[in-house]
Structure 1
């Protein structure tokens, strides 16, 4: 057998071995049911390049991407609600009724019992029982209305009765504070109006892992999204609310407040956005900066999903409520490119605020990619040389 035949047989054997023992994981798709996407429009419907927008981050454009900062402002609507607030009695409350100059009616059970113990329990049907006048409907009424009705009815038995009514125990109406607070649970609605800010303070404040920006207030099955960051850090009182019976305030964890930094950086990793937010420059700093020997300084990208967030930008070229495209043509991602070849461009990065689930990717320089190709080829070239030398030795073997 001559040298060429030996070399061919050796190459075929190597190929078979490679097919049987490739290092790393592998999933064979043979004989599996692979679902192919429907080809509705071969020109652009399934072309991902046509559904990705790229925006350069320049001094002229970065301001258009900047998220408006919350500003301090008053809440006249809330002030008006607080001014006219009145507690309305409900089942389970205990009323303390005082008839002046008639101690036998005021404290029939003795003077050593508290108001809540000796008071008048509001029954499940919304009534209380009082001597002389029998059952009085009190549910849904203010103490002023109850006082007036009882005085009118007692006037038939007592001359010019002086009646005073107050709530000794508030038990009928509650709101609920759940999530990342120090003392989650229910809080009673009383004659003192309870606001969102008051409820959070009563619950002991927020935990370290609380998401300040995505608080939800559920009322009658409908959710309102509120920002405690704007309220407590920026003084935006428009984020405050007067809580009503049955309201549920939920403060979620900040698990969703994360960005991914990958590519040619010193330490690729996941970063958490804190309550003050995170800029692109902060994210790069958090991973030790770019890899100066491998990275392409012109290729710092922020990849942001556009699915489900089609109307958040006012930039030209992006979908708006007035010009909706079909689902197959809407952008699936927006890519923002920062060129930091001049390090002063990092100032632009400080003005670009990242959003949850953004991907910060730093590309490799062309020379780095070429070096990696060469690095992958070297073992093959070296193996081929060794194979050739071995074949030559076999050919010249006596």
Structure 2
């Protein structure tokens, strides 16, 4: 009898497991499937250095913090409740010291050398019959192909392969492409031009219309060209403004008055990595020091001097208080979820499924989201199936959802996650390991099997 009962129990468990499987009582795990179903058409794209560039092309500008987070309590801030600062007492020839003229040394003219991010345009002769030649725009599109120089310094041309171009002049690049076309037994007749200059830039900021990077093209970029490109200088008082150029660890200065009257300074040649900043002498600390100096210089009587200083301190205090009030109000609204935010969503086999806000004033990347939320559990998550699900604007289009698949079984692939930019409403999904799915199915199945086996024994 003692050997019969275990045999009966084992038989009952086997019969119960077979019956449950036949009834379809199995554990269903979430997965990304590259099929066009009735509801959603999914297109799976492997994440590579090339496809990262493609995914990042979708335009997105991060939300910005309110202006009060960037303002200083200096002159001209125009905050509500704050009047004009007290006038400085009249003192003959009283003004801040003019900056010294220290222009950067002249640089020799060098031919433009291609770099990472530049886009070159390859034009080939027209082929085909008369009807094809009359197709106009289609023919032009087929004959002019743009190639972006990748992070490895090369472009990839179908039927030719990878051609390194970084560091070459346009003439040298044409020669190298010619040699590769001949080696591949293709027609070497073509022309090459640079469609986008992205590898060499100069930053321009400060008291200008628009702070931005200005690209350096085939011709030398002058200081005047760079300032014109950002909309010109907006300093209200020319005598107090200075153009500062930071190059290779050295700071050069050109007073704005000298720049406006001397064409040779306007023709100053800028080079890759230069930073141009138009600076005015008035910020909070400088304005306060200047006013205090002027009030003390003229020898006002003690009472009048104290009143003037108190007026200055009170006005600056009003401005600072208004800024702090605006910032605190924004932070309270943010805490109550009353501010519009852009979000991404973390799902699947992750430390915690959650909704994650995108940061203000900067791009967020896939690595920021994954590791900022605790990473992925190595024991249960499948590193080969990390997906970024991004919906198309047209839900009826083919590939209405693009699943960008990051295979992180090779840990080096995580570097791609540090460059993959997030977009609002992206869904980051991590699939479970096959053994994880099996273990969870057994965890759900075992209690039922044990009950059935016990009933069979009894």
TM-score range, shorter chain: 0.3 to 0.5
Larger RCO (alpha carbons 8 Å, 6+ apart): 2
Query: Which has a greater percent of helix?
Result: 2
Q: TM-score, normalised by structure 1?
A: 0.40
